[in-house]
Amino acid sequence: MPNFQAATQLKTTLNYLKQRFVGKDEIIDLFGIGLVARENVFLLGPPGTAKSAMVRELATLLHGQTFEYLLTRFTEPNELFGPFDIRKLREGELITNTEGMLPEADLIFLDELLNANSAILNSLLMVLNEHIFRRGRETRKLPALMIVSASNHLPEDEALNALFDRFLIRVRCDNVAPDQLSAVLDAGWALETQGSSTPPEIAASTIKSLQIQLSDIELNGIRREYLELIHKLRNAGVQVSDRRAVKIQRLVAASALLCERDHALVSDLWVARYIWDTEEQREVIAEIVNSVFAKEESSEVQHPRARNSSAPNADDLYREVENIAQQWDNAQPSAAEKAVLKDKLRYLSGRCAWIVESTQREFVQAAVDQLWTKMM
């Protein structure tokens, strides 16, 4: 049985990021999925849309080593992996001095990845796909929790398609909607001035514990629906290789774990919306994925991204808690009705964890806890 304390801690960190970056909830939720599943995330969007800023802010919240590099056509392997150790070289050994470089980082950000040249292409492929650094006779496993890349265009060269294929999660990063611009300005200024509140940091070891717990998530309950989804995507012309089909299961399990469940729901298949290869596929894939779980009705906590919705509204949740309290106090419910009310409250308690603003989250959670005490 997974220990959900680490999942709660990660969600708190993600909620903090959402407050800092207005209108970027979708991307930040996918960062959470990528971290838990240990899968790479590719951000596609024009300059000035906070791609780099989000990754850097996440890096400041992560107790671990980070590595960031802007790739150009002239980037050499030494700039990413480190130079050869001169002392060892004198002894006839080709050993890389990786101190402070990519092979030692817990979070890696490769900006403008698609500028990579053939000199580092093969080394990056193994890093991205297997989290292994190999140079000459030197081979070592990487501690990387997640690798994020950003670009303002998709690959046009076939050689770069191989790099792009190593990013299972692909997401657009655009300018926010006009009605959110005022909130963006406020949040951006707060980010510049660095307010006095203590950010909710999270240790790399905590993320690693979540990655280990991923194998405890039960997927058998959604096997039929998952197979149906893969067949539908392939029939629609989406290239879902067997390797990618296997890896998507990790994203599904990560969604369940972040919802603090030990089993996946059909709605956890929402993560498959982000496996597109071209922008034209985005809408097609989303419709196919949504159709698979459109009729699902569950009293269990679903990931807020499943219904294309944003974080839950604190006022709405509080009104629902009050409504349950009135039914409990005034209607003299039967034992069966009491069980239903408890299930509803348990569901609302899970939804509370997704409220972005911490004061509102604590206020609603206090009301839930108070009602639980009365019920028990």
Model confidence at 227, pLDDT cuts 50, 70, 90, reads very high
For range 228-245, the mean pLDDT? 93
pLDDT tens-place string over residues 102-113: 999 999 999 999
| Domains of the chain, first to last | 5-193 (3.40.50.300), 217-305 (no CATH), 314-375 (no CATH)
Helix (H, G, I), strand (E, B) or coil at 374: helix
Contact 102, 127 (CB under 8 A): yes
What does residue 367 show for φ and ψ, rounded to 5 degrees?
Answer: -65, -40
What gap in Å lies between CA 192 and CA 34, rounded to an integer? 27
Q: What percent of the chain has pLDDT over 90?
A: 49
For range 276-280, the mean pLDDT? 91
Angle between the N-to-C axes of helices 204-213 and 5-20, in degrees from 0 to 180, rounded to the nearest 10: 120
pLDDT tens-place string over residues 342-362: 877 887 777 787 787 778 888
pTM of the model: 0.83
pLDDT of residue 344: 78
User: Across all residues in the chain, what is the average pLDDT?
Assistant: 87
pLDDT of residue 1: 67
Q: Say which residue the tokens 């093969």 belong to.
A: 122
pLDDT tens-place string over residues 137-165: 788 899 999 999 999 999 988 888 989 99
